[in-house]
Structure 1
Amino acid sequence: MAKLDHIIEQVLAKIKQREHQSYEVDYHNQGLPPDEQVYTEYGNIAINDVTIELLLELYRVNVNDPWTRWILQGISFQENFTFHISQYMIKFIPKKMLLDWPVTFVVDKEHPVFSFYQKSVSRQDLAAIPDQSIVVVTPTQKLTTEAKEVSQYKQLTIKIRTDEDCIWQK
């Protein structure tokens, strides 16, 4: 029994260690993604240079694309993905991806991107996100007066999306 307890302790220690381990990779559309072994060692994966093409393949769940297949497998292993993008790509991210996909979009490696479901974005919503974040809203969504004050205080960038779809969904 002591041997089994020791094995269980080792497995739990490995799982706990994995939660705090990070791996960073550059996306190359012509290259292959990393090996699946990454998932056993790291709980957080940052992908640099994410392109519109990769977002499109992911959104369409194109399992013939090796990067899409690799990312989807990582999601099933509960990996925390961070996609590093340029500020010009925000209009190319479907709002459904911002809201529902288990990935974090980050502009210039320092400004996470957020969006909200509700029609009225409140002070509480904006207070819960990091300073200098980017918030994507649609014209049908409104920021409360207090939310506007918080956005200035926290130096949030508010990006108004003309509609819920991104440019390539039309």
Structure 2
Amino acid sequence: MNQRRQQASGIADLGLANRPSTERAELLSTRSVYDQSGTRELEKFGPLGRIDLVQDLTSGGTTLVAAHTSVLARGWTSKRYEEGRPQDAVGTSNQITSTKEAAQVREHPAVMADAQTTMVAKGHLLVLVGHRHRHRRLPRTSPVGGPAVHQGPARPRPRPLPGRPARPTRAR
């Protein structure tokens, strides 16, 4: 019985107590949106929860919700494929070139909140966070055949063989 009260309290906190069960189920589930062929995942929405905004939620220069405000939102991931690729290009297709991760505020569903964009172009990973960005070199191959996020250095540093002096390295 106690667990049922906690669930009811959580649903009430999210403003879902008076909503139909189908709407509650949709808002508390994870949903993916695919293209017409069903091969490319275009967007993914996570379950509804309460978050604190890091940045102001703005649209067209108007602040809709101030930063540090607690709002109801879902995780929102948007994927783009082959941006900037020529139409007559030959080779692999269906490669993700950018991913934008954000929150979808319930009161403003068309505006991405606290967005972070990750772009992959010609073997480089570019993570854009507001006006700041980080740039990292990706490995030439990926274990799963697509672009991979690489956390360490691009190449391991050479180690000298036992009994041999280390080679001098060039300054970069």
TM-score by length of structure 2 reads 0.27
Bigger radius of gyration among the two:
2
Larger RCO: 1 or 2 (CA < 8 Å, sep 6+): 1
TM-score by length of structure 1 reads 0.27
Q: Which has the higher strand share?
A: 2
